Amino acid sequence: MFEIPTSKIHDEARQGEALKPSEKGNSGADRLFYIESYGCAMNFADSEVVASILRKEGMEVTDEYTNADLIFINTCSVREKAEQTVRKRLTEFRSLKKERPGLLVGVLGCMAERLKSKFLEEEKLVDIVVGPDAYRSLPTLIKVADSGQKGVDVLLSREETYGDISPIRLNSNGVTAFVSIMRGCNNMCSFCVVPFTRGRERSRDVHSIIKECTELFENGYREVTLLGQNVDSYQWFDEETGNTVSFANLLEQVALISPLLRIRFSTSHPKDITDEVLFTMKKYDNICKYIHLPVQSGSTRMLQLMNRTYTREWYLAKVDRIREILPGCGLSTDTISGFCTETEEDHQDTLSLFEYCQYDLAYMYYYSERPGTLAARRFPDDVPLEVKKRRLAELVELHRKYSLMSMEKELGQTLKVLIEGDSKRSKDDWAGRCDTNKMVVFPKNGTAKKGDYVNVLVEDCTAGTLIGRIV
């Protein structure tokens, strides 16, 4: 799953208000809650579900944790650094609890089950621990914690999709939104903890997805990203029609909501993305021509140890097929450097695969062992840290070369860009993305506004941004 930066979750509608800790203490309604999310886009989408559940209980969100009656961290267990960050934040919140005895602190999401005993008993960092399938129990668990006990629910479900809950769009630009279409994962990659923290794969009711996307469009949103650990394996049986809805079918139904609604999706497992999906993307202009296709390694030997279920040659053939059906399609990936027993030859295979694929974007990490995974049980984490870091640095350097080349190809081209908001560097400029997911920055004019599609002539670029002007 592609990652997005750590962020505080807050409600833009309340910004500027002087929010204060609830005068009603722990009695229930009118309490303020704060959510801080880490890791993948799915975690951020889950935080919006949690906000909806709590708001229905009369609670309200704040963007300052010092004002909150309840503080929640939505956690990520995919990499060690995220766990370290979460532990540091919980320690900071524990200090705040000493000043405000009524404050409750909770951990949500992927770290909940695995580290619940450490957080609750050994370190006494939290009052509430809730797994990703148990968010509906939060109001009850808060009452339990109010009574002085620990509120815990980390049970995984084979049915829960939260399909009937309308997420509260928090930290939103009002233009783009995440829509979760499935939960869990059946791919037992040896390095990955997700099947153990999020459970088995289950797809959400197609009608609830279409309803959510339609409502977003009617409320002014112009782009949705369909989310799942492996979106291409989406499958839902429609009892009304007797038909099974595939991911390609779902894509088409969302595209038909309006030609003004852009559709993106993430993440695709290479083994599951089909020609049917690719031809559906080709058929509809509003389905963005961009695919996140994690490879993890360019070595077939490594891929087998990772249980990725494909070879180097198979992956490259899939890339060729994407480019045959969708010429110019944007392509990004994930990689892990220094996985168990990785040799210099294996590393060179990954470098050469990058040279072949020339990705527009890549999320690159060195391997950190995750307790409970197949790799942790079976394979030695035997690549020295300095070697992992060196190999990662070589991969990053190579990728920067091709990322810049990808940007330079757009010079002189006119691209259709959806304005998402102000540029981070200047409020005199707009920022938005083109069809292939490249960020474009351009000066404002008197007519264009956030949420508009504009044609931008690309005149300059960096390795990460296109620079142009509206034409």
User: Phi/psi at 256 (nearest 5 deg)?
Assistant: -80, -10
pLDDT at 223: 98
CA–CA dist 386, 365 (Å, integer): 13
Name the E strands within 349-397.
Answer: 361-366
Percentage of residues of the chain with pLDDT beyond 90:
75
Q: What is the pLDDT of residues 408-463, one digit of tens each?
A: 999 999 999 999 999 999 999 999 999 999 999 999 987 899 999 999 999 999 99
pTM for the structure as a whole: 0.88
- Bridge-partner residues for 73, per DSSP? 36, 107
pLDDT tens digit sequence for 18-58: 334 444 444 456 799 999 988 888 888 999 999 999 999 99
Beta 453-461 vs 465-470: how paired, if at all?
A: antiparallel
Let me know if the fold of 7-153 is the same as that of 289-409. no
Which of the listed ranges 16-25, 109-118, 313-322 does the model predict with the highest average pLDDT?
313-322
Report which residue type is found at 364.
M
* Higher-confidence position of 27 and 325: 325
Q: Kindly state the average pLDDT of the residues 71-98.
A: 83
Residue 123: predicted pLDDT: 60
Average pLDDT over residues 381-391: 98
pLDDT value at position 18?
Answer: 32
Question: What pLDDT, on the 0 to 100 scale, is given for residue 367?
Answer: 96
Judge: domain 193-288, CATH 3.30.750.210: yes
Single-letter code of the amino acid located at 259: P
- Per-residue confidence (pLDDT) for residue 117, from 0 to 100: 73
Distance (Å, whole) CA 152 – CA 112 = 9
CA distance 141 to 128: 7
Whole-number Å distance between alpha carbons of 93 and 440? 38
Residue 407 CA to residue 464 CA, distance in Å, equals: 7
Which pair of tokens denotes residue 426? 């200047």
- Please tell me the predicted confidence (pLDDT) of residue 122: 61
Neighbouring residues of 456: CB distance < 8 A, sequence distance ≥ 6: 414, 415, 416, 417, 434, 440, 442, 466, 468, 469, 470, 471
Q: Residue 230: which of 262, 300, 277 has the closest Cα? A: 277
The span from the CA of 317 to the CA of 319, in Å, is 5
Q: Given this model, what pLDDT does residue 354 score?
A: 98
What is residue 94's predicted lDDT score, i.e. its pLDDT? 85
Give the total residue count for the chain. 471
Q: Are 155 and 134 in contact (CB under 8 A)?
A: yes
Instruction: Output the pLDDT for position 197.
Output: 85
Residues pairing with 37 in the sheet: 7, 74
Domain boundaries, the chain: 7-153, 193-288, 289-409, 414-470
Contacts of 207 (CB under 8 A, 6+ apart): none
Greatest mean pLDDT among 70-84, 226-240, 277-291 lies in 277-291
The CATH T-level fold of domain 7-153 is Rossmann fold (3.40.50)
Distances (CA, A) of 452 to 246, 254, 391: 31, 20, 42
Tell me yes or no: is domain 289-409 CATH 3.30.750.200: yes
- Of 52, 100, 110, 54, nearest to 78 (Cα)? 110
Mean pLDDT, rounded, for 139-164: 92
pLDDT in the model for residue 112: 79
CA atoms within 13 A on the CB side of 440: 31
Q: What is the pLDDT of residue 4?
A: 36
Closest among 194, 255, 250, 262 to 223, alpha carbons compared: 262
Q: Does residue 98 surpass a pLDDT of 60?
A: yes
User: What pLDDT does residue 75 have?
Assistant: 83
Q: What's the whole-number average pLDDT of the chain?
A: 90
Long-range pairs, 275-281, Cβ under 8 A, ≥24: 275/321, 275/325, 276/246, 276/248, 277/232, 277/247, 277/248, 277/251, 278/321, 278/322, 278/325, 278/326, 279/248, 279/325, 280/248, 280/251, 280/252, 280/255, 281/251, 281/325, 281/326, 281/329
CA dihedral (106, 111, 113, 117) positive or negative: negative
Calpha distance 254→286 (Å, rounded): 10
Q: Is the pLDDT of residue 193 over 90?
A: no
pLDDT in tens, 348-382: 999 999 999 999 999 999 999 988 899 999 999 99
Inter-residue contact 402 to 364 (CB < 8 Å): no
Q: Report the alpha-carbon distance of residue 222 to residue 450 in Å, rounded.
A: 10
CB proximity list for 275: less than 8 A, separation 6 or greater:
321, 325
414-470 to CATH, choices 2.40.50.140, 2.60.40.1220, 3.40.50.720, 2.60.120.10: 2.40.50.140
Whether 2 has a pLDDT exceeding 80, the answer reads: no
